[in-house]
Amino acid sequence: MDNYPNMPGFRPGSPETSQQAAESVAQAAISREAMALALIRANAANGCTADEVANTYEWERYSSRPRLSGLKAQGKIVDSGKRRKAVSGRSQAVWVLPEYGPPPPPDAQGDLLKDAA
């Protein structure tokens, strides 16, 4: 299963149980990623933290983080640069769709203009 971030994965050489675990959660992970993305999309520029996603869907707090990591790796969400307090009292990243995120660095914008020419 070398499909990460599109599917949960495991490291080469992992025990067979790790491979089986990744395969067993694959469909649930895809569904949860879609749910998390829908919530982030619905919140537009306000975005969501991992805890907010978990609270909305009544998931265990730790279960939303891998879904957000997968969405980030796919380029579907970005860190807005904003932070909100988590249940733990620590700050969490606020995730948004790319169009609501910070602008790319100036050199990246130049690369985009070169590609458009």
**Per-residue pLDDT reduced to its tens digit, 9-48:** 666 777 777 766 666 656 666 789 999 999 999 999 999 9
Does residue 6 form part of some domain? no
State residue 96 phi and psi, 5-degree precision: -140, 165
Does residue 59 form part of some domain? yes
H or E segment at 24?
A: helix 16-42
Does residue 25 form part of some domain? yes
Does residue 105 form part of some domain? no
Q: How confident is the model at residue 112 (pLDDT cuts 50, 70, 90)?
A: low
In CATH, what number is assigned to the domain containing residue 65?
1.10.10.10
Does residue 10 form part of some domain? no
Q: What is the average per-residue pLDDT within 89-109?
A: 88
pTM of the full structure: 0.70
Q: How many domains are there within the chain? A: 1
Which residues 6+ apart lie within 8 Å of 41 measured at CB? 97
Q: What is the average per-residue pLDDT within 58-67?
A: 91
Does residue 22 form part of some domain? yes
Counting residues of the chain whose pLDDT is more than 70, the rounded percentage is 72
Q: How confident is the model at residue 55 (pLDDT cuts 50, 70, 90)?
A: very high
Angle at 74 between CA 69 and CA 75, to 5 degrees: 95
- The parent domain of residue 31 ranges over 16-98
* Residues forming beta bridges with residue 85, ordered by sequence position: 91
Residue 90 has pLDDT above 70, yes or no: yes
- Distance CA(87)–CA(70), nearest Å, equals 22
Does residue 112 form part of some domain? no
pLDDT tens, 31-42? 899 999 999 999
Residue with tokens 């020419």: 117
Does residue 49 form part of some domain? yes
